[in-house]
Structure 1
Amino acid sequence: MKFLAITLIVHNDERSPTERFREVVDNAVLAEELGFDGFGVGERHERPFISSSPPVVLSHIAARTTRIRLFTAVTTLSLLDPVRAYEDYATLDHLSGGRLELIIGKGNGAAQAQLFHVTPDDQWERNREGYELFRRLWREDKVTWEGRFRPSLTDAETWPRPLQRPIRIWHGSATSKESVDLAAFYGDPLFSANVTNPVEPYAELIEHYRERWAAYGHDPADALVGAGTAGYYAARTSQEALETYRPIFEARIALFRKVGVDPVFHTLEDAVERGSILVGSPQQIVDKVLRYHERFGHEVMHLHADADGLTSAQHRAALELFQSEIAPVLRKEIPSRPFPEVAV
């Protein structure tokens, strides 16, 4: 199994944006130091996030690291001009020495849709059309294209040409079959959010992905799935882990209720029992990931990169424990295909 650390760059405390960005970059450096396979930066265009420009953040991380693969989580193609997005990420691909991997998706949030004049009626079509063009730009030196949502192209050239040919593009999936079907149609890997709900709806979408994958004529053995988690904290005993993480979980529930969101899990114990949150002893976390693997068949998993209310010492200690006692077992128990080699 491969492991990513991912941040959406939530900014909801007294620190300046500058300090928060520096923390993100430092966490990426730490993730590489500890042995994570990838580091991802999300894209959101509304409060409380400041992750509106992932290629800029990832470029800085590329300059501070040498090995770890760099992920977007996700690139919101329903909002972006595919040509401009291609130019940004092809440049980043070179600057990182071919370490870039993209996770694309529709994105969510009313504020970001208003900024880009995207509606619920056209968001999926924008995502599909944007991906069709985006995909071709990575593969073709000249593109002739016509669609609904941007000006047409005739023998258009985009620069720079990418370092990785082709780059691997994942499709982020949360609740809808549209993104799952798009991934299966093109033979692309799928990354399940696996954050908000119990395992069942995510397992159903992954099963649908595998069914559509085969229906489109792809070899079932080639399907590749990743999955997220809703939070992480490991300690030597489950009692210690629950005691430390409880105020963090309860603060999150209070924030949900403040903004009018009814949480799916009302107690930490319920979230640990039925959700994807990983809180407990190393053996408990290994057992839980293996149970999820039985449903998903996933080869890649992400943890939250941020301290998320933990102290810096607690955060580092928990990540060190993950890499020393949890990751080695999961890597052995769940074989995974290698990530692409660094290009240069």
Structure 2
Amino acid sequence: MKLLAITLVVHAPDPATGTLVPTRERFAQVVRSAELAESLGFDGFGVGERHERPFLSSSPTVLLSHLAALTRRIRLFTAVTTLSLLDPVRAYEDYATLDHLSDGRLELIIGKGNGTAQRDLFGVTPEDQWERNAESYEVFRALWRDQPVTAETRFRPPLRDAEVWPEPLQRPIRVWHGSATSRESVDLAARYGDPLFSANVTGPIEPYAALVDHYREQWGHYGHDPALLTVGAGSAGLSIAARSQDARAAFEPAFAAYLAMQANIGVEPVFPTLDDFVRRSSALIGSPEEVIDKVGRYQERLGHSVLHVAAEGQGVSEQTHRHSLELFAAQVAPALRRLPGPPVWGGASADPAAGVCESRVTDSEHRAQRAVPVGSE
């Protein structure tokens, strides 16, 4: 199993003290988190993309470029790139540049995104968001793989033998599809033979597992090699201590913040108590042994070979969360790396049999697809 640390760069007052750190300091915290993740041996560090309060992750390419200059080994993830909101040509330019600046350490997780405010900001509607996401991905994918590109598009000007620069370093790049509640992202991933990343954070495992099952079915439907099917999964929180009661106590402020947020937006919490949250959510709260057992149980159901944990703790101090990450790296990660699952690393230029999840669509089929209207499938 490969291990990622991910942040959405939430910028909100500390629930215990009410203090809101300056924006500059909040970005500095993210930098420290990435450097810590690399020093602890994590395989990847991810930055989300949100365009509304309380997030500071509206420019993931800028932030990841900075992190690329400060790190040397760790792979850099988008979590997720909201292609439904973006012009795919501009997104391609940004990410192809970042691919070079990171020496080919870029990994993309794409998705339609969440939030009414950011939809309104970009003039996207709930009715067309999935179609925009699919069209943007198809254009982005075509540009990355084989130019010039011709595409009949609905949501941006059509492309006519378009060439866009720079050429990327990784040919092709691995693109994961973020999956939360709908089958559309699952179907898109399966159609193109791409890996799936289950959010697995806001509810119990059952609906996420159902979507992963559907992904497996669709993967076979599209004729892809079963050995290359790859799933990643998130976790809802992290608090590890030698004694489980200490881990729970350390997480109590974060859970109180969760309940307060649910109350503020008028939503009944999925997990009304901390005990219920620890028991039924994907949160990794407890002793190292308890966390290993829980990840193993989830892995049996989801079959994932990549796991993300929170790079930063909301409602707990930076030092407290650092301690959890250190315990995770020292006492949990070695056991998780032995869990069964398909290999997923090796760089996008590696042989697919070595673990890179590739589509079986041929180059000639790619060229043929560029002659049909994007999104027509």
TM-score range, shorter chain: over 0.9
Tell me what 2:6 maps to: 6
Query: By how many angstroms is 1:335 displaced?
Result: 4.4
- Range moving further from structure 2, 199-208 or 257-266: 257-266
User: In structure 1, how many angstroms separate the alpha carbons of the residues matched to 2:213 and 2:227?
Assistant: 14
Describe the SS at the equivalent of 1:78.
Answer: helix
2:201 to 195, 200, 204: 195
User: In structure 1, how many angstroms separate the alpha carbons of the residues matched to 2:47 and 2:317?
Assistant: 21
Identity across aligned pairs (percent)? 65
1:191 is aligned with what amino acid? Answer: F
Tell me what 2:177 maps to: 171
2:165 to 159, 162, 169: 159
2:108 to 68, 88, 102: 102
Tell me what 1:54 maps to: 60
1:206–1:296 CA contact under 8 A, matched in 2 = yes
Describe the SS at the equivalent of 1:333.
Answer: coil
- Range moving further from structure 2, 329-338 or 198-207: 329-338
Query: By how many angstroms is 1:336 displaced?
Result: 4.5
Q: What 5-or-longer segments of structure 2 have no aligned partner?
A: 14-19, 350-377
User: In structure 2, how many angstroms separate the alpha carbons of the residues matched to 1:120 and 1:252?
Assistant: 26
2:171–2:348 CA contact under 8 A, matched in 1 = no
1:140 and 2:132 correspond: no
- Range moving further from structure 2, 333-342 or 317-326: 333-342
Tell me what 1:68 maps to: 74
Query: By how many angstroms is 1:338 displaced?
Result: 4.4
User: In structure 2, how many angstroms separate the alpha carbons of the residues matched to 1:336 and 1:220?
Assistant: 10
- List 4+ stretches of structure 1 deviating above 6 A: none
**Residue pairs, 1:245-284, within 5 angstroms:** 245-284=251-290
2:41 is aligned with what amino acid? Answer: G
1:2–1:336 CA contact under 8 A, matched in 2 = no
Describe the SS at the equivalent of 2:337.
Answer: helix
Q: What 5-or-longer segments of structure 1 have no aligned partner?
A: none
Describe the SS at the equivalent of 1:293.
Answer: helix
Q: TM-score, normalised by structure 1?
A: 0.98
- Range moving further from structure 2, 138-147 or 185-194: 138-147
Query: By how many angstroms is 1:340 displaced?
Result: 2.9
Tell me what 2:239 maps to: 233
Describe the SS at the equivalent of 1:273.
Answer: helix
User: In structure 2, how many angstroms separate the alpha carbons of the residues matched to 1:154 and 1:341?
Assistant: 31
- For each residue in 1:280-321, what CA deviation from the matched residue of structure 2 results, as whole angstroms up to 9, or x when unmatched? 000000000000001100000000111322223222211111
User: In structure 1, how many angstroms separate the alpha carbons of the residues matched to 2:120 and 2:348?
Assistant: 38
2:170–2:348 CA contact under 8 A, matched in 1 = no
Query: By how many angstroms is 1:219 displaced?
Result: 1.5
User: In structure 2, how many angstroms separate the alpha carbons of the residues matched to 1:46 and 1:165?
Assistant: 33
Query: By how many angstroms is 1:332 displaced?
Result: 1.3
User: In structure 2, how many angstroms separate the alpha carbons of the residues matched to 1:107 and 1:255?
Assistant: 19
1:30 and 2:23 correspond: no
- For each residue in 1:250-286, what CA deviation from the matched residue of structure 2 results, as whole angstroms up to 9, or x when unmatched? 1221122112222100111101111101100000000
Tell me what 2:137 maps to: 131
Tell me what 2:319 maps to: 313
CA RMSD in angstroms, aligned pairs only: 1.1
- Range moving further from structure 2, 299-308 or 203-212: 299-308
1:43–1:76 CA contact under 8 A, matched in 2 = yes
Tell me what 2:224 maps to: 218
Tell me what 1:287 maps to: 293
